[in-house]
Amino acid sequence: MLGGEVHWTDGAPSAGAQGSAAAQTRRAERLYRVALINGLLGHYGLALADWQGSSYLLSNRTGRTEIVGDLAQLWQAAERMLGRCCDPLDPTLLERLETGA
Amino acid sequence: MLESAAYLPVYVITGFLGSGKTTLLQRLLAAPELSDTAVLVNEFGEVGLDHHLLRRVDEVIVLVQSGCLCCTIRGDLSAAIRDLYGRRERGEIAPFARLAIETTGLADPVPILSTVMAEPVIRHHFRLGQVITTVDGVNGLLHLDHQPESVKQAAVADRIVVTKTDIATRGAIRKLTMRLHRVNPTATLLAMTIDRVPDATLLLTADLDHPAAGSEEVHRWLTLATAGPNVAGHHDHGVNRHDARIHAFCLTLDRPLDWTAFGIWLSMLLHSRGTDVLRVKGLLDVSGADGPVVIHGVQHLVHPPVHLPAWPDGDRRTRLVFIVRDIARAEIERSLAAFNCLG
């Protein structure tokens, strides 16, 4: 983990804009992010949890877990666990999101 | 809000062999207002640069741990920039106000951008200013046809300087301009001849992250991307052309973006398809934000987002420009809409 570097998604616009209606505080925003990501990761059999407000825990169904610091590290870890990239252009994933399955 | 004034801007000057990089640099550095520019060059070319803050770097590529190929850090460059900064801090050299880096003609500029934006020590003192690409007015079309490096150099540019326009035919310049606009509709095109040097201010001072210039710069590239001759779908495919697979488009979204969902989407897209997303530039209407948020990236590298106090024009919708290779506009559009509904 590189540690200490701010990922661009943690930059000022979210704080300035308060991110979304649901995210009034940094903690709420992290939980909101985790909830959104879990909406996606279910498609891959993975799950994410907040870890002490500073990192995230990524797990698969066999119980393998990795600590990740930001979204860049999350996608790298997911790729290691799955053996393939999580592609947001994948039509199967998009179908699932569009139907709310 | 990004406090960019505290960082020294880095201007990367790239361009194919013989396209006039050194000549451009030499002429820019002759301007008294740019004398406080430090320069790093990869090689000393035939055109001599006579500048008191000039250093040469040898090309050594280092792959950062867990990074992808385009996120390589140039170890040599990193050491040279850090050394230069150390000497500036110790008062051993004049306190330069900006750094210009001239690449080799065959270089992929992205590892250089990666070094500036991702190397932990450098990113605390420097920020990326502009990528300036020189294109040979006489042989530029030939380079774009046969040299993939030349296409990439044009695609990642903020400013493209077409050189030798005085010795190329008008028809050739028009064709070249059309091609360059199709590869990169957001770049400002400038001409350089033996007697005419492009505006130094536009090249070595104005940039997106500069507090005073940010809004104007966003307005410039949005106008170029939406009003240019080719962005609406001019297709001139040639089987041997390296830029035939690269295209640009501008998405306009009526619905405000959820910042969190957008960050998840773009970070995921850049992780999986970053080598084919050559550039993303956008002005975002973020839910709950007062002003627009500017997003600006080259492959996997994304500038810190900038929150502008006001919209640069009357249009308050999200506008996102993509320069991509082998990705259809409809794929991006569908995916972004699906992710935005997550929020």
Q: Is residue A47 part of a domain?
A: yes
Q: Where are the domains of chain B?
A: 4-217, 236-340
H helices present in B184-323, as ranges: 200-204, 214-227, 259-273
What whole-number distance in Å separates Cα of residue A73 and Cα of residue A2?
Answer: 9
Give tens-digit pLDDT for B256-285.
Answer: 999 999 999 999 999 999 889 999 988 999
pLDDT at B59 over 50: no
Nearest residue of A to residue B296 by CA position? A8
So what's the pLDDT on residue B1?
A: 39
pLDDT at B216 over 80: no
The verdict on a CB contact (< 8 Å) between B302 and A18 is: no
Domain that holds residue A54: 13-92
Q: Is residue A73 part of a domain?
A: yes
Q: Is residue A59 part of a domain?
A: yes
DSSP secondary structure letters along A8-69? GGGSHHHHHHTSSTT--SHHHHHHHHHHHHHHHHGGGTEEEEEETTTEEEEEETT--EEEES
Secondary-structure class of domain B4-217 per CATH: alpha beta
Q: Total domain count for chain A?
A: 1
Q: Is the ipTM of this complex over 0.85?
A: yes
The residue that leads in pLDDT, B232 or B258, is B258
The verdict on a CB contact (< 8 Å) between A18 and B288 is: yes
Q: How many CB pairs under 8 A join A and B?
A: 123
Of B26, B14, B4, which Cα lies nearest the Cα of B113? Answer: B14
The verdict on a CB contact (< 8 Å) between B293 and A23 is: no
Note the pTM of the prediction, 2 decimals. Answer: 0.79
User: Whole-number mean pLDDT of chain B?
Assistant: 81
B275 reaches A (C-beta below 8 A): no
B127 reaches A (C-beta below 8 A): no
A22-25 long-range contacts (CB < 8 A, ≥24 apart) are: A23/B260
- Mind telling me how many Å the CA of A59 is from chain B's nearest CA? 18
Nearest residue of A to residue B304 by CA position? A8
Give me the residues paired with residue B15 across strands: B134
Give tens-digit pLDDT for B147-178.
Answer: 888 998 999 999 999 999 989 899 999 999 99
Give tens-digit pLDDT for B18-42.
Answer: 899 888 988 888 888 888 888 888 7
What whole-number distance in Å separates Cα of residue B273 and Cα of residue B182?
Answer: 21
Average pLDDT of the segment spanning B83-102: 89
Q: Is residue A5 part of a domain?
A: no
- Mind telling me how many Å the CA of B256 is from chain A's nearest CA? 10
Give tens-digit pLDDT for A10-23.
Answer: 865 544 445 555 44
Sequence letter at residue B215: S
Secondary-structure class of domain B236-340 per CATH: alpha beta
